[in-house]
Structure 1
Amino acid sequence: MSGQIPKSLTDITTLQVLFANNPLLCGPGTTKPCPGDPPFSPPPPYNPPTPPTQSAGASSTGAIAGGVAAGAALVFAVPAIAFAMWRRRKPEEHFFDVPAEEDPEVHLGQLKKFSLRELQVASDNFNNKNILGRGGFGKVYKGRLADGTLVAVKRLKEERTPGGELQFQTEVEMISMAVHRNLLRLRGFCMTPTERLLVYPYMANGSVASRLRERQPSEPPLDWDTRRRIALGSARGLSYLHDHCDPKIIHRDVKAANILLDEDFEAVVGDFGLAKLMDYKDTHVTTAVRGTIGHIAPEYLSTGKSSEKTDVFGYGITLLELITGQRAFDLARLANDDDVMLLDWVKGLLKEKKVEMLVDPDLQSNYEETEVESLIQVALLCTQGSPVERPKMSEVVRMLEGDGLAERWEEWQKVEVVRQEAELAPLRNDWIVDSTYNLRAVELSGPR
C-alpha cells in the first residue's frame, strides 16, 4: 500500500499502526509529508493499553464490597441506636418516676399534686408557729398558696415501705372521690421518697373539740341549735362514707376533734382519708387498732376488727361530747371520784336520774330538755356493747330527723329489762355500771 493517506482514515485508531510502519505512505499519520506538502513533526509512537493485572482487579472488587457492607451496617445501626435512646428516655415520662420537686403541675380530676417546695413555701418551711394541731397521723400546718388561698397541710408520719407510693396514690385517688357537703374535701397531695402530705381547705372555725373546750374568751360557746346541726351533719357525712362510697370507707377514729366547722358552723367530717378502705365484699378489716381512748368500740379494742359499727360507737361518744362538753377520757374526773370514761360517767348520772347534770354548763339552760333526752337516747343506742344491736348510720340520720327513735328506744328498753334481770339476778347486790355492760333501761321520756 502506497500513496497519500486520506484525512478521513487518519482518525481510525486501528489503522494508525499500519500507517506509521509503512514507508510508502505519506501525509498525516505517517513519518513523511507528500510531495508539495509542508514538512511536519511525526506523531508519537502508538502504545496500546496494557491489560489490567489480576491483583488490581481484586483490590477494586474488595473496595466495592467493603463500601456496600459499611452502608448496610449504617442503615441498620441508625434505627437501633435511635430505639435504644428512646427506651432509655421513656421512664422519665412516667409521672411518679420523677422527683416531686421537678414534677410539672398535674391534676387527677380536681385533685392537684403539689410539689414539696410549693408546700414548704406555703407553710414557711413547716414552721411550728403554723401548727394547727397534732394527732396520731402527724401534724397539721396552716399554709397560704401562691394565689393567696389558705389551706391546711397534713404532714403524715407514716413508715415508708417498698411499693408504698402506689398504695398511697391509690388511696388518695379513692378518697378524693368521696364528695359530700359534710365531708372534708381533699384538695391535693404531695408524695416524695421521704414525704407524704395531704392538702385540705382551711377551716377557720376549727374543730368541735376546740370550740367545746379550748375556745378563746372572746369566742361565744356553741349554742344548742348549732350542736344539734353538728350532730345531724356529721351523721350524714358518716352515712355517706358507709353507704355511698365504693369501696366503703371506715373512719375508725370518729370524735369531736375530727369534726371541723366551716364558716357557717356546719359539720365537716375530717381525717376519714386516713382510714383504711374496706372492700364492699368484706364485713371487717383486721389491722392495728387506731383510735382515741374513750372512743374505741370494745370489740375493736379486743379483736382489732373494725366495721361500720365501730364508727357508730365513736359517733355515740361524740354525741355525748356535744351534750356534756367534756372529753371522752379525762383523768381529771378522778378528783371528784367520777369515772374517767365519759360513757361510764354519763351512765352513772342517768342511773341516779341526774340528767340535768349532764348538760354543758356553757349552755346556761338555753336548750330544750326533750331534745337533750332524744340525743342521749341516740347516743346510748349507738354505744351498745354488741355491734349487732347498734343502728347503722343511715338509721341514726333518720332518728335524728325524728323518724323511728321512739319505737327503737321503747324496743331497746324492753329487751334491756329482761336482759338485765337475767344477768344480774345472782349478783344483784354487786351490780356495777360501766362501759363493758349494757345500761339498765334508762327512764327517759321519748321524743316529743
Structure 2
Amino acid sequence: MPLTNITALQVLDLSNNQLSGVVPDNGSFSLFTPISFNNNLDLCGPVTGHPCPGSPPFSPPPPFVPPSPISAPEGNSATGAIAGGVAAGAALLFAAPAIVFAWWRRRKPQEFFFDVPAEEDPEVHLGQLKRFSLRELQVATDTFSNKNILGRGGFGKVYKGRLTDGSLVAVKRLKEERTPGGELQFQTEVEMISMAVHRNLLRLRGFCMTPTERLLVYPYMANGSVASCLRERPAHQQPLDWPTRKRIALGSARGLSYLHDHCDPKIIHRDVKAANILLDEEFEAVVGDFGLAKLMDYKDTHVTTAVRGTIGHIAPEYLSTGKSSEKTDVFGYGIMLLELITGQRAFDLARLANDDDVMLLDWVKGLLKEKKLEMLVDPDLHSNYIDAEVEQLIQVALLCSQGSPMDRPKMSEVVRMLEGDGLAERWDEWQKVEVLRQEVELAPHPNSDWIVDSTENLHAVELSGPR
C-alpha cells in the first residue's frame, strides 16, 4: 500500500537517509513539512521545498489575512470558551504521543556501521569464496556480541552469526596486530585455504579484510567440537559412543592426510587437538583451523614467527627448534587419539591431586606399564567398547607420538593402519626397536648422567598385538 493512502499517518521522519526522487504532494504526504525530508539532497517536490529539475518554481504562498471578528451573543461566549478548551485539550491529547515518539526517536542512540577500505585492495578473484563487508558480519553477529561467542582460541574469538539469507555461520575474528602491506599476503593464504576441499575439512565460506580487521567465515557446526562433546556436553546430550569415536579417528586422519599429501603447497596444521576437530550433523569429523598458523605469520613470509600450538599437543622438536613439519601434526594427532580414548585433557594439573602425570601421554604410558588398560578408557563409555579395538587405537596413538619425528608414520600410513592395513607389522617393529633402545638406556654411562624423559625416549609398553 502506498504511503500516500495511509490516512492515519501522522508522523514521518525520512531525514538523513540519502533518498532520491520526487516526493508526492497528495494524500497523507500533503500534511508534512520539509523537516521530514531534511538532508536528502536528491529529493524534490513541493513538500521538500526543492523544485524538481524542469519544473516551474514554486509560487509563494498567499499572504495571511486575519479573519474579521464575528460578534456573538453574550450568552454564547461562555459556551464558546468551553468548546474551545475542550477542542484544544483533545488536540493536545492526540498530538502528545506523536511528539513523544518523535522526541524518543531523536534521543535514542543508533548503531552506525561503516566499511573501511583496505590499504591495498586489488581486485579479488577467489572462485566461490565470498568477500563479506564488515557491516554484513557486524549485523550477522549482533556487533560481535559476547552472547554469540562460540569459543576462544590462540587465533581469536569465534562468533555465531546468521546471514541475511538465514544461514548460520561461525565468524572467526583474528586477533593479531596488522602490519602495512600484509593484505596481499593475507589474500594469498586465504585463497590457499579455500582450495583445500575435502569432506573431512572445514570449508571456508568467505572472508573480510580491512586495515584493522581480519575475519574468516565458516559454516556453523551444530555439534561443536570433539573436546566439547567429551568434556563440556550438556546433561541431556548423550556421550560419544565407541563406533562414533572410531569414525572420528579415521575421518580426522583422512582430513590431515589430504592437507599433507594433496595440497600444493602442503598445509601444516600446527595445532591438531580435539578442540579443532569439529562434528557435523552426522557426527562426522571435520578438521578446522587448518592454515591459520601460517595465515597469522604473514608478517614474515619465510620464517615461522612463533611456535603455535597447545601445551600437551606440541611435538618436542617443534617446541625446541620452532621448525614444524607434517610430523608435528602426526604427533598432535596421536595425542588427540588419546583424548578420544580417555576423554581427558592433554595437559591437566588436576591429575596432580592423584599423584599422576599432568601430561596425558605420560599418564597413559604409566598405566600401560602397570597393565591397567581398563583405567585408560573414558568412563562415559560404560564398558561399551571392544578391548581389541581400544588396544589398536592406543598402538596407533603411541606410534604417532614418538619422540623422534623420523620414527612417526605419515598421516597416509595412519589412515591405512586405521583401516586395518599394516598396523601389526609396524607395531612389532616398534617394539623391537624399543627393546634395544631400553637396553642402551639401562647400560652404564660413566661419563654422563642419563636422564630418561618420556617425551624424548619412549619405553616399550606391553600391549597385545593387533587382532
Please say if residues 139 and 156 of structure 1, whose CA atoms lie closer than 8 Å, have aligned partners that are also in contact.
yes
2:294 is paired with a residue whose SS is coil
> In the alignment, is residue 353 of structure 1 matched against residue 371 of structure 2?
yes
> How far does residue 424 in structure 1 lie from its aligned partner after superposition?
1.7
2:462 to 440, 443, 447: 443
1:246 to 251, 254, 264: 264
Query: Per-residue CA shift, 1:378-405, capped at 9, x if unaligned?
Result: 0000011100000000000000000000
> In the alignment, is residue 419 of structure 1 matched against residue 437 of structure 2?
yes
2:224 corresponds in structure 1 to 206
1:170 corresponds in structure 2 to 188
2:461 is paired with a residue whose SS is coil
> In the alignment, is residue 179 of structure 1 matched against residue 202 of structure 2?
no
> How far does residue 438 in structure 1 lie from its aligned partner after superposition?
2.9
Query: Per-residue CA shift, 1:347-394, capped at 9, x if unaligned?
Result: 110111111100000000000100000000000000111000000000
2:37 corresponds in structure 1 to none
> How far does residue 425 in structure 1 lie from its aligned partner after superposition?
2.4
Please say if residues 404 and 456 of structure 2, whose CA atoms lie closer than 8 Å, have aligned partners that are also in contact.
no
Letter in 2 for 1:426: P
Q: Equivalents in 1 of 2:459, 2:154: separation in Å?
A: 35
> In the alignment, is residue 312 of structure 1 matched against residue 309 of structure 2?
no
The alignment's TM-score, normalised by the length of structure 1, stands at 0.74
**Pairwise CA RMSD:** 2.2
> How far does residue 443 in structure 1 lie from its aligned partner after superposition?
1.5
Q: Equivalents in 1 of 2:362, 2:453: separation in Å?
A: 5
> In the alignment, is residue 339 of structure 1 matched against residue 339 of structure 2?
no
2:71 corresponds in structure 1 to none
1:373 corresponds in structure 2 to 391
Letter in 2 for 1:217: A
Q: Equivalents in 1 of 2:274, 2:196: separation in Å?
A: 20
1:99 is paired with a residue whose SS is coil
Corresponding pairs, count? 343
* CA 1:286–1:169: 2 relative to 1, 3 Å: closer
2:282 is paired with a residue whose SS is coil
Q: Equivalents in 2 of 1:381, 1:349: separation in Å?
A: 17
Give 5+ residue unaligned stretches, structure 2: 1-114, 296-301
Query: Per-residue CA shift, 1:266-297, capped at 9, x if unaligned?
Result: 000000030327xxxxxx96441000000000
Report the structure number with the largest CA radius of gyration.
Answer: 1
Q: Equivalents in 1 of 2:368, 2:453: separation in Å?
A: 12
Q: Equivalents in 2 of 1:319, 1:438: separation in Å?
A: 20
> In the alignment, is residue 323 of structure 1 matched against residue 323 of structure 2?
no
Q: Equivalents in 2 of 1:285, 1:338: separation in Å?
A: 38
Letter in 1 for 2:377: V
1:401 corresponds in structure 2 to 419
Aligned pairs for 1:72-221 (under 5 A) are: 99=117, 108-221=126-239
Query: Per-residue CA shift, 1:65-106, capped at 9, x if unaligned?
Result: xxxxxxxxxxxxxxxxxxxxxxxxxxxxxxxx9826xx9x97
1:148 is paired with a residue whose SS is coil
Letter in 2 for 1:335: A
Give 5+ residue unaligned stretches, structure 1: 1-96, 278-283
1:306 is paired with a residue whose SS is coil
> How far does residue 439 in structure 1 lie from its aligned partner after superposition?
2.8
* CA 1:232–1:433: 2 relative to 1, 3 Å: farther
1:387 to 369, 390, 405: 405
> How far does residue 108 in structure 1 lie from its aligned partner after superposition?
2.2
Please say if residues 204 and 262 of structure 1, whose CA atoms lie closer than 8 Å, have aligned partners that are also in contact.
yes
Q: Equivalents in 1 of 2:284, 2:130: separation in Å?
A: 25
Which structure has the highest helix share of the two? 1
Moved over 6 A (4+): 430-433
2:207 is paired with a residue whose SS is strand
